[in-house]
Chain A
Amino acid sequence: MSVFSKVASIALSAAIIATPLVAQDQKALEAAVKARKSQMTLFAFNLGLLGGMAKGQIDYDADKAQAAASGLLALTALDASRMWLPGTDNETMDNTRALPAIWAEGSDIGAKAQAFGEAVGAMDAAAGQGLEALQGAMGGVGGACGSCHKAYRGPRN
């Protein structure tokens, strides 16, 4: 085997090893985006019931409201780190509206996530305590959604 073909064969095996690794990474990125979108869908699903009650479109029911709020709170406990992998922003991927600023220097995404958790905690404490309490907690949750989306979500592709 010539030196050249040796080098070529090493390079080729390296490429063969590298290719599935890259594909694997890409899969993890796609899965992360899919997972966090599912989480958002479930947020909206539970919030939909609470918001419908707050607006008077759905009759208030303390048990159902409490269940939805507890559901929201449980969702905030999911580990975010695997769903928000670096490289899953709207510059590098087509199926997400997440702005690169989330991962950039000076990002306050952690503080915003914490504020959202607190707002959902307040909702969990309020939702079963009557319609007025639920309505009072709604603004905080909406504000927390909006504050993160304002800073870190781009328009639809």
Chain B
Amino acid sequence: MRNVIRGFLGLGLIGAAAGFWITAPRTIDPQTIDGLTGDAARGEQVFWAGGCASCHASPSADSDDMILLTGGKAFATDFGTFYAPNITSDPTHGIGVWRQIDLANAILAGVSPSGKHYYPAFPYTSYARLNAQDVVDLWAFMQILPPSDVASKAHDVSFPFSVRRGLGLWKQLFAHPEPVVRTDLTAEQQRGQYLVEGTGHCGECHSPRNALGGIDYARWLGGAPNPSGKGTIPNITSGALDWSEGDIAEYLSSGFTPEFDSAGGEMAEVVENTARLPQSDRDAIAAYLKAVPPVSNE
């Protein structure tokens, strides 16, 4: 009998140890960025493609102070309300003391410099697809952005989601950096894939999620309920969107639909970002979207 109890205890310990191991924050291999030097000018392109300012600029910022990343914007979700933090170059309230590797761990692995998981409101599940050079370029650009001493606001998240360690399990289940579309793509479509699946993190809003907030890859970009409010984020696969590639690229530049309606809400912010990209990137996004397997509206 005593042996049986001991056996169970042992199994329990192994289980706990396994759980501890599974949920442990995993940083990237430092060699990934070893020897790379950032270029701020290229980093600015990554910055706009990544939409950093759309979340991290002050909620009251107009388009001229989009590079002052004070944070403070609230994101109400089913799991609680998240607040975008200050990511300016301020050493105390921002991330001014971060090294290159710290930004790389945040973006590619969703892990903070102190070794904690970030909540996936920060779209590292998409950003994990970025190449290392883009990350160090972005770091170089962020170094030269103005500081702000506005303190970051704590997230308002209740138990069990308040236990960040649990995100380790979430990451194991749902954070997969491999490409979503696996068919043969042209060089232009591959560039679009990188921008849509990675930097632009389009799938974060345009794809539906399961009850635990994991993206449903079978309905990739097939539309989803608005994560923070009323309404629906549209299906942008060819199963629902019949725009030409030229129409899509134009929309990402001027915000005008083929019917001369214009983008609203968060998509208007996205268009402010994509309008700053080279035309070739908007064309690439359009080319990729045409290659995404069509999802029909349910």
B263 x A146 contact (CB < 8 A): yes
Give Cα A50–Cα B262 distance, bound, in whole angstroms: 14
Q: Kindly supply a per-residue 1/0 record for chain B positions 258-293, scoring 1 wherever the CB is within 8 Å of any chain A CB and 0 otherwise.
A: 011111110011011000000000000000000000
Min CB gap B77→A, angstroms:
15
Min CB gap B251→A, angstroms:
11
Please give me the residue from chain B that is nearest to A155 by CB atom. Answer: B231
B271 x A146 contact (CB < 8 A): yes
Q: Is B110 an interface residue (CB 8 A)?
A: no
A145 x B229 contact (CB < 8 A): no
> B230's contact among A43, A90, A152, by CB below 8 Å, is which?
A90
Q: Which residues of B contact A36 (CB under 8 A)?
A: none
> A149's contact among B232, B233, B250, B268, by CB below 8 Å, is which?
B268
Q: Which residues of B contact A157 (CB under 8 A)?
A: 230-232
> A155's contact among B254, B265, B271, by CB below 8 Å, is which?
B265
Please give me the residue from chain B that is nearest to A43 by CB atom. Answer: B260
Q: Which residues of A contact B231 (CB under 8 A)?
A: 90, 97, 154-157
> A142's contact among B229, B233, B234, B256, by CB below 8 Å, is which?
B256
A153 x B265 contact (CB < 8 A): yes
> A51's contact among B226, B256, B271, by CB below 8 Å, is which?
B256
Q: Which residues of B contact A90 (CB under 8 A)?
A: 230-231
A146 x B262 contact (CB < 8 A): yes
A154 x B259 contact (CB < 8 A): no
A150 x B230 contact (CB < 8 A): no
Q: Is A64 an interface residue (CB 8 A)?
A: no
B260 x A154 contact (CB < 8 A): no
Please give me the residue from chain A that is nearest to B63 by CB atom. Answer: A147
B259 x A44 contact (CB < 8 A): yes
Q: Which residues of A contact B259 (CB under 8 A)?
A: 44, 48
Q: Is B255 an interface residue (CB 8 A)?
A: yes
Min CB gap B225→A, angstroms:
9
Q: Is A47 an interface residue (CB 8 A)?
A: yes
Given A47-B260, A51-B256, A142-B255: A156 and B232 interface contact (C-beta under 8 Å): yes
Given A55-B250, A149-B265, A150-B269: A91 and B230 interface contact (C-beta under 8 Å): yes
B262 x A145 contact (CB < 8 A): yes
Please give me the residue from chain A that is nearest to B253 by CB atom. Answer: A142
From residue 102 to 157 of chain A, which have CB atoms closer than 8 A to chain B? 138-139, 142, 145-147, 149-150, 152-157
> A150's contact among B256, B261, B265, by CB below 8 Å, is which?
B265
Please give me the residue from chain B that is nearest to A150 by CB atom. Answer: B268
Give Cα A48–Cα B268 distance, bound, in whole angstroms: 19
A44 x B261 contact (CB < 8 A): yes
Please give me the residue from chain B that is nearest to A49 by CB atom. Answer: B260
Min CB gap B210→A, angstroms:
21
Give Cα A156–Cα B232 distance, bound, in whole angstroms: 6
Instruction: Point out which of B234, B259, B263, B264 has the most chain A C-beta atoms below 10 A from its C-beta.
Output: B264
Q: Which residues of B contact A139 (CB under 8 A)?
A: 254
Min CB gap B223→A, angstroms:
10
A142 x B265 contact (CB < 8 A): no
Pull 7 A–B residue pairs with CB atoms less than 8 Å apart, ordered by A. Answer: A44-B261, A90-B231, A142-B254, A142-B256, A146-B263, A153-B268, A155-B233
